[in-house]
C-alpha cells in the first residue's frame, strides 16, 4: 500500500510481560511489592467524579508544588508526565536535536535507543567496562547530549555523583539527563548539582519507590529555562497529559513521606538479605542500589534458570543480548515471594549440580 | 546558553482557560455539562488501589474490546490514547512523513499546525469558503496526508460524508485522518467508510459526549495494518499511556449506552433552543452539529461581547484571528447556564443598541 511509504517505521521497546494469569510471582518489571500510601486510596474513594466532565489542570500545579516542596526547588523547576517514560520521551524530543550523536552506555535502559530511533536522533553507545562501570573518558568527546541512568538498569550499579559531575562539567554545551528511576533505594541523587548546572535534567518516577506504576506518574527537575522548553514541547504535544485521578493520587503519595521512607527501607532490607542468599547459591552480581538484583550463576546459564523459574510461574527478566545473556534481573518482591524463589533455586541448583 | 542550540523550539497550542475560581459559567472548552455515567463513579469507589503498584495493561485490552464491540470493529482496529490529542499527535508522528505538505482547512482545530510544527511536517492550509465550508477540490492535489475535523471546530459545521469519501477516494496513497471529536452531537461518522478504505483513520474522544475530559481518553479506529503502525510508534514512545483508573472509567462509560444517548440528546435539545434564542438576539452562526455554537453578532464586535461576558464571569472562547475575530465559540452548558448567558446578552445588547 502506497500510504505506507510515509509511515515512520520503528521497532518498539518491549516491556516486561504483564501476565494476565493469577498466582504468579512477578519479579520481572521492578514493581514495588507494597501498596501505595494509604492516602491514595482515600482521595480516590472521596473523589467527586462529576468533576471528570471538566479538563484537568493543564499545569498540574498541585502536584508540581508538593514535589517542589519535597525536593526543595521551585515549582517552575518541576515537570510532570505519564510515567518517567513519557518525561524522558519528551526530553529526547526537546533537547536532542544536534547532528552529533547523543551518548549513553551499551548496557542500560533499552528504551534510550528506541527513543533515539523514533526521533531519528543519532546516537553512539559507550561500552561499560567489564565490571559494568561507566568509563568516564568516553563521555568527554563531542556529542549532542548525554543520558545516564543512575543507578543503572539493568545492572543496579550506582555511579558516584562526583563522576557524573565531571561528565556534566565537561558537557555544558549540551543537555545531560540523569535518569534516577531507582535512586530512592539507596542511591545518591544528582539533584544538588542543579544549583551549579543549568544543563542538567534529573528524572524520577512514582512507579518504583512510590508503588504507583499503575497510575503513570513521572517527573523531571531542572533549571527553570530548561524546564520551560520541555513544557513548550509538551504543550505542543498534548495540553493535558495527567488525568484528575493521577494528579490526586500523586499529591497524596508525596504528602506521606513517612510511608515512603518505610516502604523503601523494607525493600532495601529484603534486597540485602537476598543478596547474601543468592551469593550462597553461587550467584554473582554487581552491588545493587535499586529494587532489583542483576545476577548471574557461576555454572548454570541464564536461559536455563530463567526457563526453570518460569516453569514455576516465577517471572524474572532476561535479555538475549551479548555480555548480559547469563544474567537475570530479579525484582525485589515481598520476603515471602523471595523465599519461594530462593527455595526453588536452592533445590533446582542442588539437583542440577548434584 | 550553548545547549539551547539543540533545543526544539516550538510555539505551543493554547487551550481554553481552566479558571481556578469557582462560580464561573464555563462555556469555553466544550466540556459536557453533565457528569459521566454513574458506573464510572462506581468502578472508582470500588477500585483496589493496592493494584496500582503494578503496571497497567499496556495493550489496554479491556477498553479496546468494549470500544470494538460498540463500534462493530475488531479490537485490533482500535487504538486508545490520553485524550484524542494524544492519539492525533501520535498519528501525525506516525503517518505524516512525506516531503509533500499535509493539507487541512485554514479555520479548524488549531492544534493541527502546532503538531505539524513540532514534528517539522510541511503543511498547507486550505481556505474554507465564505460559508466556512470545505472546498473539495483543494484536497485533490498532491499531498503528504490530510486531516479534517468533522464536524469542524470551531465552526460546528458538518461536511457530508459523501464529500469526505470523495477526498479519501482521491487520496488513497496517503493517510486521511477524520477527527470526529464532536460527531456524537448529531453528526454522521465516517466509520462505515473503513470497510472500503485502508488509509482512513477515524479519531474520537471521551472528553465531550462522554463527559470525561478530566480522565483523558481518546481513541482511533482504522484498518488493522494502519493501527499496527500507530501502535509501533506508541510503544516506541511510552509503553503504558493509560493508567488503571482511566481504563476502568472508560470501560464503565462505554458499557452504559443508555446514559450516553440520554446525555447527548439533552445537549442537542439545549443547543437547538439556544440557536433560536441567539438568532432572535441578532446572532448569526453556521448550523452546529456539535456541543458548541460559533456565533457572530450582526452589529456588536466579538471582542466586545467576549469582554462583557467575561466581566460577568461567563467564559466563552474567542480568537483574534483573521476571518473569525467577530465570532465567539459558545459551549452548550446546562439549560440554566445558557439561560443566564442569554439573559445577560439580552439586556447587554438592548442597552448597547438602545
Domain-located, residue B184: yes
Shared-domain flag, residues A125 and A199: yes
Chain A CB contacts of B242 below 8 Å? 216
Check CB contact of B39 with chain A, cutoff 8 Å.
no
Check CB contact of B144 with chain A, cutoff 8 Å.
yes
Whether the predicted pLDDT of A209 surpasses 90: yes
Among A54, A117, A229, the residue with its CB nearest the CB of B213 is A54
pLDDT tens profile A229-247:
999 999 999 999 999 999 9
Longest dimension (CA), chain A: 65
Residues 89-108 of A with CB under 8 A from B: 89, 93-98
Q: What is the pLDDT of residue B256?
A: 98
Residue A185 pLDDT grade (very low, low, confident, very high; cuts 50, 70, 90):
very high
Q: Is residue B29 within 8 Å of B15, Cβ to Cβ?
A: yes
Q: What is the rounded distance in angstroms from the CA atom of residue B308 to the CA atom of residue B315?
A: 10
Mean pLDDT calculated for residue range A166-192: 98
Mean pLDDT calculated for residue range A148-157: 98
Best A237, A242, A249 member to test B by mutation, with max B CBs in 10 Å, is: A237
Among B8, B54, B241, the residue with its CB nearest the CB of A233 is B8
Q: What's the whole-model pTM score? A: 0.97
pLDDT tens profile B208-251:
999 999 999 999 999 999 999 999 999 999 999 999 999 999 99
Asked which of A256, A287, A302 is the last residue of a domain, the reply is: A256
Check CB contact of B319 with chain A, cutoff 8 Å.
no
Residues of chain B where predicted confidence (pLDDT) is lower than 50: none
Shared-domain flag, residues A192 and A124: yes
Domain that holds residue A339: 2-35+258-353
Domain-located, residue B186: yes
Shared-domain flag, residues A245 and A267: no
Q: Give the minimum alpha-carbon distance from B286 to chain A in angstroms, rounded to a whole number.
A: 26
Q: Does the beta-carbon distance from B52 to A249 stay under 8 Å?
A: yes
Shared-domain flag, residues B248 and B290: no
Domain-located, residue B275: yes
Q: What is the pLDDT of residue A151?
A: 98
Check CB contact of A10 with chain B, cutoff 8 Å.
yes
Q: What is the pLDDT of residue B14?
A: 87
Q: What is the pLDDT of residue B319?
A: 94
pLDDT tens profile A252-288:
999 999 999 999 999 999 999 999 999 999 999 999 9
Strand runs (DSSP E) across B10-92, as ranges?
25-26, 78-81
Q: Give the minimum alpha-carbon distance from B259 to chain A in angstroms, rounded to a whole number.
A: 14
Shared-domain flag, residues A115 and A184: yes
Number of domains in chain A: 2
Q: Tell me what percent of the residues of chain A surpass a pLDDT of 70.
A: 100
Shared-domain flag, residues B64 and B160: yes
Shared-domain flag, residues A95 and A201: yes
* Grid cell at residue B279: 438568532
Size of interface A-B (CB pairs under 8 A): 289
Q: What is the pLDDT of residue B21?
A: 84
Whether the predicted pLDDT of A353 surpasses 90: no
Longest dimension (CA), chain B: 65
Q: What is the pLDDT of residue A17?
A: 83
Domain-located, residue B11: no
CATH code assigned at A96: 3.40.640.10
Q: How confident is the prediction for chain A on average, in pLDDT?
A: 97
Domain-located, residue B247: yes
Check: complex ipTM more than 0.95: yes
Shared-domain flag, residues B240 and B265: no
Asked which of A210, A234, A256 is the last residue of a domain, the reply is: A256
Q: Does the beta-carbon distance from B114 to A236 stay under 8 Å?
A: yes
Shared-domain flag, residues B184 and B271: no
Q: What is the pLDDT of residue A20?
A: 80
CATH code assigned at A281: 3.90.1150.10
Whether the predicted pLDDT of A354 surpasses 80: no
* Grid cell at residue B81: 490514547
Shared-domain flag, residues B58 and B180: yes
Asked which of B255, B286, B302 is the last residue of a domain, the reply is: B255
Domain-located, residue B2: no
Q: What is the pLDDT of residue B19?
A: 85
Q: What is the pLDDT of residue A18?
A: 84
Among A45, A52, A173, the residue with its CB nearest the CB of B215 is A52
3-state DSSP of chain A = CHHHHHCCCCCCCCCCCCCCCCCCEECCCCCCCCCCCHHHHHHHHCCCHHHHHCCCCCCCHHHHHHHHHHHCCCHHHEEEECHHHHHHHHHHHHHCCCCCCEEEECCCCCCHHHHHHHCCCCEEEECCCCCCCCCHHHHCCCCCCEEEECCCCCCCCCCCHHHHHHHHHCCCCCCEEEECCCHHHCCCCCHHHHHCCCCEEEEEECCCCCCCHHHCCEEEEECHHHHHHHHHHHHCCCCCCCCHHHHHHHHHHHHCHHHHHHHHHHHHHHHHHHHHHHHHCCEECCCCCCCEEEEEECCCCHHHHHHHHHHCCEECECCCCCCCCCEEEEECCCHHHHHHHHHHHHHHHHHHHC
Check CB contact of A36 with chain B, cutoff 8 Å.
yes
Q: What is the pLDDT of residue A69?
A: 98
Q: What is the pLDDT of residue A14?
A: 87
Q: Does the beta-carbon distance from B238 to A83 stay under 8 Å?
A: yes
Chain A CB contacts of B29 below 8 Å? 54-55
Q: What is the pLDDT of residue B193?
A: 98
Shared-domain flag, residues B108 and B232: yes
Domain-located, residue B333: yes
List b or e across A90-118, with b for residues whose CB sees 16 or more CB atoms inside 10 angstroms.
bbbbbbbbbebbbbbbebbbebbbbbbbb
Q: What is the pLDDT of residue A142?
A: 97
Domain-located, residue B217: yes
Q: Give the minimum alpha-carbon distance from A131 to chain B in angstroms, rounded to a whole number.
A: 29
Shared-domain flag, residues B218 and B87: yes
Going across the sheet that includes A292-297, the strands are A283-284, A292-297, A327-331
Whether the predicted pLDDT of A42 surpasses 90: yes
pLDDT tens profile A105-145:
999 999 999 999 999 999 999 999 999 999 999 999 999 99
Amino acid at each position: 500500500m502506497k500510504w505506507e511509504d510515509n509511515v515512520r517505521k520503528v521497532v518498539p521497546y518491549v516491556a516486561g510481560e504483564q501476565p494476565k494469569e493469577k498466582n504468579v510471582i512477578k519479579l520481572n518489571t521492578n514493581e514495588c511489592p507494597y501498596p501505595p500510601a494509604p492516602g491514595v486510596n482515600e482521595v480516590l474513594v472521596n473523589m467527586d467524579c462529576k468533576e471528570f466532565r471538566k479538563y484537568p489542570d493543564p499545569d498540574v500545579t498541585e502536584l508540581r508544588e508538593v514535589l517542589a516542596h519535597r525536593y526543595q526547588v521551585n515549582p517552575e523547576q518541576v515537570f510532570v508526565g505519564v510515567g518517567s517514560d513519557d518525561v524522558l520521551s519528551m526530553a529526547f524530543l526537546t533537547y536532542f536535536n544536534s547532528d552529533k550523536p547523543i551518548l549513553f552506555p551499551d548496557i542500560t535502559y533499552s528504551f534510550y535507543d528506541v527513543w533515539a530511533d523514533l526521533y531519528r536522533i543519532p546516537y553512539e553507545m559507550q561500552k561499560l567496562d567489564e565490571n559494568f562501570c561507566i568509563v568516564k573518558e568516553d563521555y568527554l568527546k563531542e556529542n549532542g547530549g548525554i543520558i545516564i541512568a543512575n543507578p543503572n538498569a539493568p545492572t543496579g550499579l550506582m555511579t558516584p555523583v562526583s563522576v557524573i559531575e565531571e561528565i556534566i562539567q565537561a558537557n555544558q554545551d549540551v543537555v545531560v539527563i540523569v535518569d534516577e528511576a531507582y535512586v530512592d533505594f539507596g542511591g545518591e541523587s544528582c539533584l544538588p548539582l542543579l544549583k551549579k548546572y543549568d544543563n542538567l535534567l534529573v528524572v524520577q518516577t512514582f512507579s518504583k519507590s512510590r508503588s504507583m506504576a499503575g497510575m503513570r506518574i513521572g517527573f523531571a527537575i531542572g533549571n527553570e529555562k530548561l524546564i520551560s522548553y520541555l513544557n513548550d514541547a509538551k504543550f505542543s504535544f498534548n495540553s493535558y497529559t495527567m488525568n484528575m485521578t493521577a494528579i490526586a493520587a500523586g499529591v497524596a503519595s508525596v504528602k506521606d513521606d513517612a510511608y515512603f521512607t518505610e516502604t523503601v527501607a523494607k525493600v532495601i532490607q529484603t534486597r540485602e538479605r537476598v543478596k547474601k542468599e543468592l551469593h550462597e547459591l553461587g550467584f554473582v552480581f554487581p552491588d545493587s542500589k535499586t529494587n532489583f538484583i542483576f545476577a548471574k550463576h557461576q555454572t548454570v546459564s541464564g536461559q536455563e534458570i530463567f526457563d526453570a523459574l518460569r516453569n514455576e510461574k516465577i517471572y524474572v527478566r532476561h535479555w538475549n543480548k551479548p555480555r548480559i545473556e547469563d544474567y537475570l534481573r530479579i525484582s525485589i518482591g515481598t520476603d515471602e515471594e523471595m523465599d519461594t524463589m530462593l527455595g526453588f533455586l536452592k533445590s533446582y541448583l542442588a539437583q542440577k549440580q548434584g
